[in-house]
Amino acid sequence: MVRDDWFTVQQIDSDTYAISEYGHWEKVHSFLLIGQDKAILIDTGLGIGNIRKVTDQLTDLPVEVLTTHVHADHIGSHGQFDTFYVHEEELDWIVNGIKGRTDEQIRKDMTRDITIPTPPGFEPETYRPFRGVPSETVKDGDVFDLGSRLLRIYHSPGHSPGHITIHDEMKGYLFTGDLLYDGTPVYAFYPTTNPEDLVRSLERIADIPGVTRVFGSHHTVGLDPQILPEVKSAARELRERDLVRFGTGIHRFPSFSVQF
């Protein structure tokens, strides 16, 4: 039993957990994957609560952080961990901040529409997105061995230039970050996004074999893998209708939507 007033912990299996922030409008999920030798935390959330206090209750193993992408709602608590990784395309973002997004803009997004009491010590007026130097950068094809558990990295740009998708090859879990989730549109309409890259990335992850469950970083925890054939069909339809470009709006499909 994990005790925390900010985070909600959902056990996916005996050594996999979703750590969710349902009190914030983004409803963002981080995921703890435990191997025999070490654990990987996929993203660290908003930085409103202390996620390290949660992971310490779930495992005694060393915890390293894999970053799906360098947006503020995914890197908020990176500073609580000694080792974290980002894709090489977003090294500058994690060190110097996202181009075109001021701290003030990010602060407004991160501190609005909060529906439960925030933890002691959290001050909305002084919230600042995390910046720091990663232990290493990652690239497409890298493999992380946790001890009897292998994670393969797929570079999946579009939502951001260095976005990655993580495939737990032994369990078949696919952690898609902000490339694929339900509830609200996956977006590629900011200047730092790329609609064509997003569709290519969706097509690529749809072909990954042996996927048993899809875990996006927002809304529903765990999507049926049948969403992947739907993604492939949707990508084909978007191309045929010449919609894969900025300004074409929101495009809805049975299980997900995208916005360009």
Q: Could you give all domains of the chain from N- to C-terminal order, each with its CATH number?
A: 8-259 (3.60.15.10)
Is the separation of the CB atoms in 74 and 26 below 8 Å?
no
pLDDT digits (tens, 9 = 90+) for 25-35: 999 999 999 99
Provide the 3-class DSSP secondary structure of residue 125. helix
pLDDT digits (tens, 9 = 90+) for 120-169: 989 999 999 999 999 999 999 999 999 999 999 999 999 999 999 999 99
pLDDT digits (tens, 9 = 90+) for 174-201: 999 999 999 999 999 999 999 999 999 9
Q: Check whether 100 has a pLDDT greater than 90.
A: no
Q: Could you tell me whether strands 63-66 and 84-87 are parallel, antiparallel, or unpaired per DSSP bridges?
A: parallel
Provide the 3-class DSSP secondary structure of residue 236. helix
Label residue 3 by pLDDT band (50, 70, 90): confident
CA 89 to chain centre: 16
Please tell me the total number of residues recorded for the chain in this structure. 260
